[in-house]
């Protein structure tokens, strides 16, 4: 099982378009969830496949997959 880590010091959804996390929008499996704009996303570890797609779409390099 993949482990997704969101670095809260680097994660700045207020810098993403309309406060919506770009990485969350990119996740086909909806493993990243953002309850509302301008708040950092959370991870549903049961849904994450470890594809690294979110790491490519995060403009702040705040997400890593282990």
Domain CATH code at residue 53: 3.30.70.20
d(CA 11, CA 1): 23
pLDDT band at 1 (very low <50, low <70, confident <90, very high): low
The confidence score (pLDDT) of residue 17 equals: 92
What is the domain extent for residue 59?
Answer: 4-65
Rounded to two decimals, the pTM is 0.85
Tokens of 4: 């997704």
pLDDT band at 2 (very low <50, low <70, confident <90, very high): confident
| Intra-chain end-to-end CA distance of the chain, in Å | 9
Average pLDDT (4-11) is: 94
The confidence score (pLDDT) of residue 38 equals: 96
User: What is the tally of structural domains in the chain?
Assistant: 1
Could you read off the pLDDT of 18-60 as tens digits, one per residue?
999 999 989 999 999 999 999 999 999 899 999 999 999 999 9
d(CA 20, CA 35): 10
């Amino acid at each position: 099982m993949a482990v997704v880590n969101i670095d809260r010091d680097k994660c700045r959804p207020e810098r993403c378009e309309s406060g919506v996390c770009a990485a969350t929008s990119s996740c086909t499996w909806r493993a990243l969830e953002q309850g509302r704009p301008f708040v950092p996303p959370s991870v549903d570890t049961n849904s994450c496949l470890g594809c690294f797609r979110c790491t490519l779409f995060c403009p702040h390099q705040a997400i890593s997959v282990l």
